[in-house]
């Protein structure tokens, strides 16, 4: 590995986005949110956006929803939304996302969210089988787009290598804040499972798995680990989740905003 170089976090980060209000009434958030992805982008000073459908919304065509995100330096859109987007268990949004490409030159990839099932076996380990995943990648790559996938810490004990190898970019997430003490060890395990794929570290600004605020010291630790992995060239960027937190006056969000402004 080459010598580590200090890289500016602000130049290597993404903001994870949903439609306004997508998290309202969930995860014991303190109040409801009304912020849009583009408003959250401006507030945080993050110009790379990942937009993911939840609760089967939005429905295609996506151009009206993507229009306000033309400002983004780079844009990734879900072809498989969160687990609440059950329609994506049977039909993907691959073609509607491909349809965005001619009008949105900033579109750089497509992502599969909540893709793996840690309680499954065989083909049921993922929402779509390996051959289908390879097909998604080919269509996307033919359009000069990358296939991204979400991988949680829970899948590390399962034989998901064939799916990981079928993707271009793996985003790695620790679902519960209490397990972030294992982040460095678990990320090393992911590297062994998928040595050839590009990797991005997902950073929650709220403990969604624990339905509680993310402790500030834990937040600072995971950001520091992300910075170190970035400097070492083991990840190419980090993702801060999510846009729906950016108008709630959450201290970890304000910490990230200030950190990026000073970086």
pLDDT by residue (tens digit) across 135-168?
999 999 999 999 999 999 999 999 999 999 999 9
At 1 the pLDDT is 43
The encoded tokens of residue 51 equal 């937009």
- Tokens 């992502």 -> residue: 111
At 3 the pLDDT is 55
In a domain, 3, yes or no: no
Residues shown for the chain? 263
pLDDT by residue (tens digit) across 92-110?
999 999 999 999 999 999 9
The encoded tokens of residue 177 equal 């804040």
Can you give the pTM of this predicted structure? 0.97
**Can you tell me the mean pLDDT for 121-140?**
96
Q: Is 208 exposed, middle or buried (0-12, 13-18, 19+ CB in 10 A)?
A: buried
Q: Is the pLDDT of residue 75 over 90?
A: yes
In a domain, 1, yes or no: no
pLDDT by residue (tens digit) across 222-240?
999 999 999 999 999 999 9
Nearest partner of 202 among 185, 187, 217, 181, judged by Cα: 187
The domain total for the chain is: 1
User: Which one-letter DSSP state was computed for residue 117?
Assistant: -
In a domain, 4, yes or no: no
Q: 111 pairs with which residues across the strands?
A: 78, 148
For 108-132, b/e burial (b = at least 16 CB within 10 A) is bbbbbbbbbbeeeeeeebbbbbbeb
At 5 the pLDDT is 78
Contact 153, 174 (CB under 8 A): yes
In a domain, 54, yes or no: yes
pLDDT by residue (tens digit) across 5-45?
789 999 999 999 999 999 999 999 999 999 999 999 999 99
User: Which contiguous run of DSSP H or E holds residue 48?
Assistant: strand 48-51
User: Which contiguous run of DSSP H or E holds residue 109?
Assistant: strand 107-112
DSSP strand pairing (206-207 vs 212-213): antiparallel
Domain extent, residue 174, equals: 9-262
Which residues are CB-neighbours of 79 under 8 A, at least 6 positions away?
88, 92, 93, 94, 97, 110, 111, 112, 136
The encoded tokens of residue 128 equal 């779509």
In a domain, 52, yes or no: yes
CATH number at residue 65: 3.20.20.80
């Amino acid at each position: 590995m080459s010598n580590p170089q200090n890289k500016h976090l602000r130049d290597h980060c993404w903001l994870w986005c949903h439609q306004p209000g997508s998290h309202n009434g969930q995860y014991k958030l303190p109040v409801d949110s009304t912020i849009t992805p583009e408003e959250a982008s401006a507030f945080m000073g993050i110009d790379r956006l990942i937009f993911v459908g939840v609760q089967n919304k939005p429905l295609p065509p996506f151009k009206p929803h993507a229009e306000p995100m033309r400002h983004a330096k780079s844009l990734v859109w879900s072809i498989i939304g969160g687990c609440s987007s059950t329609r994506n268990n049977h039909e993907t949004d691959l073609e509607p996302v491909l349809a965005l490409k001619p009008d949105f030159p900033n579109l750089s990839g497509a992502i599969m969210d909540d893709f793996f099932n840690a309680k499954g076996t065989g083909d049921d380990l993922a929402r779509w089988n390996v051959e289908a995943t390879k097909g998604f990648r080919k269509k996307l790559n033919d359009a000069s787009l990358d296939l991204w996938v979400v991988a949680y810490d829970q899948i590390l004990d399962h034989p998901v290598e064939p799916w990981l190898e079928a993707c271009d970019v793996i985003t790695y997430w620790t679902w519960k804040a209490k397990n972030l003490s294992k982040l460095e060890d678990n990320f090393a395990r992911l590297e062994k499972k998928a040595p050839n794929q590009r990797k991005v570290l997902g950073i929650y600004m709220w403990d969604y798995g624990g339905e509680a605020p993310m402790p500030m010291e834990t937040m600072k630790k995971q950001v520091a680990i992300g910075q170190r992995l970035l400097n070492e060239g083991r990840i190419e960027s980090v993702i801060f989740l999510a846009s729906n937190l950016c108008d709630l006056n959450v201290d970890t969000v304000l910490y990230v905003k200030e950190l990026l402004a000073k970086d």
